[in-house]
Amino acid sequence: MKFKNFLTILPLLSTLCVCLPAFSEENTAIPTPPEVAAKAWVLMSYDSGQILASDHAHDQLAPASLSKIMTSYVVGQELKAGHISADDQVVISENAWSQKFPGSSKMFLDVGDEVSVHDLNRGVIISSGNDATVALAEHVAGHQPAFIEMMNRYAEKLGMDNTYFANPHGLDADGQATTAYDMALLTRAFIRDLPDIYPLFKEKSFTFHKIKQGNRNALLWDTTLNVDGVKTGYTKQAGYSLVSSAEQSGQRLIAVVMGTESVSARSTESKKLLTWGFRFFQDITPEFKPSDLDTLKVWYGSPSRIRLEVADGGTITVPRRQRKNIEYKVFYDNDLEAPVEKGQQVGKVEWYLNEELLTEQPILAAESAASAPWYQSMIDVVWRPIGQWFSRQDWKPELTTSQ
């Protein structure tokens, strides 16, 4: 059964709810987020994907050079797939000539230069070179419009529903827009999918044609944080923006601030978010009872029951010292029909803190189930209507507590 029909059967789902073991007697309230002087902002936990705090997270704004995160993501995926090589020598066209970008950031490319894909990518990530983005776009896709199509296809695939790219560099253009939430999604995907390329974001300088340029992300020099990326952006329309990420004691956070009033403000507001997040939140991977994530029946399926797993490994992000107050409810699709694909959503876990919904995670099929031959599925023809009748009864979820 397609997941688009999943919401229609939620009332028919069986529900389990148990409390996790207590690890602390202290009970602290959820901390109040800081005030952030930006048009829009988001703080995301990398491991769980949870939004810890946000404001105007889905407002569409000009992306400026934050677009270059997607440019490098597309290039990275092409490198990963073997369609291009980091050692490829790219001949710089007139479209990628640095003089085509007066008054904006560039790598100082000249027409006819032969530059490796690796160096061009460094020019995009470290120097924020608009010229380098065009050179890479032409090398990857032949011409810019085809590359922009690739950018937007990846945006759609990653769930960046409010983003549209009109060029590879982010200079203001009609229709081009993104959101703080979408940029957090993209950054999380970049760190997860391209671990060999992500370290370029923490390089503090890049020299090309004997011109040394510093990384504009000032947080890379902040000794109180362990920031290792990601990207700054500025245009008159966008204001000053910064996507940053830091890791402390195995926990990674992603902060996005868009539309601040100055270079210093984008760093200050981002640091404020990261500091607050590390101080008050932690990632945990709670243990489920074996019965909570048991196998799930697949009608007319072969096999007839499938194993389950929780998306993102089951990690959730909770306020520190609040683990004893975390509860969860497990919802299954008990009318699941073959075929079922591995990774298909077949349920969800809802996490509650003091009876307030904290987050929810998809439950996925850990294996596929094909349609069984007719002679094997005859028993389901008999028993499925009986199961459906019982699931329609007005049962109330049973709340079980373990101390």
Q: pLDDT value at position 5?
A: 44
Predicted pLDDT of residue 115: 97
Buried b / exposed e along 361-380 (16+ C-beta atoms within 10 A):
bbbbbbbbbeebeeeebeeb
Inter-residue contact 342 to 369 (CB < 8 Å): no
* 377 catalytic residue (yes or no): no
Q: Which of 54, 105, 127, 128 is catalytic?
A: 128
pTM beyond 0.75: the answer is: yes
List all residues 6 or more positions away from 146 whose beta carbon is below 8 Å from its beta carbon. none
pLDDT tens-digit series, residues 250-309: 999 999 999 999 999 999 999 999 999 999 999 998 877 767 788 998 988 899 899 999
pLDDT at 353 (0 to 100) = 86
Shared domain for 70 and 217, answered yes or no, is: yes
What pairs with residue 345 in β-bridges? Answer: 364
Q: Is residue 14 part of a domain?
A: yes
What is the CATH number for 263? 3.40.710.10
Confidence (pLDDT) at 127: 96
In percent, the amount of the chain with pLDDT more than 90 equals 71
Is 25 domain-assigned? no
pLDDT of residue 335: 82
Q: What is the predicted pLDDT for the residue at 391?
A: 54
What's the rounded Cα separation, in Å, for the pair 403 and 401? 7
Residues 190 and 222 in one domain: yes
The overall average pLDDT reported for the chain is 88
pLDDT tens track for 350-361: 999 888 888 899
pLDDT at residue 315 is higher than 50: yes
Q: At which of 263, 281, 299 does a domain end? A: 281
Of 45, 48, 65, 98, the catalytic one is 65
Residue with the bigger pLDDT between 21 and 320: it is: 320
Per-residue pLDDT at 214 exceeds 90: yes
Name the residue range of residue 113's domain. 40-281
Active site residue 210: no
**Residue 338 predicted with pLDDT over 80:** yes
Q: pLDDT tens digits, residue range 345-389?
A: 999 999 998 888 888 999 999 999 998 887 777 776 766 675 655
- Residue with more model confidence, 392 or 66: 66
* Predicted pLDDT of residue 389: 54
pLDDT above 50 (res 1): no
The answer to whether residue 57 is domain-embedded is yes
Split into its structural domains, the chain has a count of: 2
Question: Does residue 65 have an active-site annotation?
Answer: yes
- Determine, yes or no, domain membership for 385: yes
Shared domain check, 352 and 227? no
Percent of the chain residues topping a pLDDT of 70: 87
Question: What does the alpha-carbon distance between residue 398 and residue 14 come to, in Å, rounded to a whole number?
Answer: 10
Provide the CA 138 distance to its chain's centre, in angstroms.
27
Cα gap 399→403, rounded to integer Å: 13
Average pLDDT of 186-194? 98
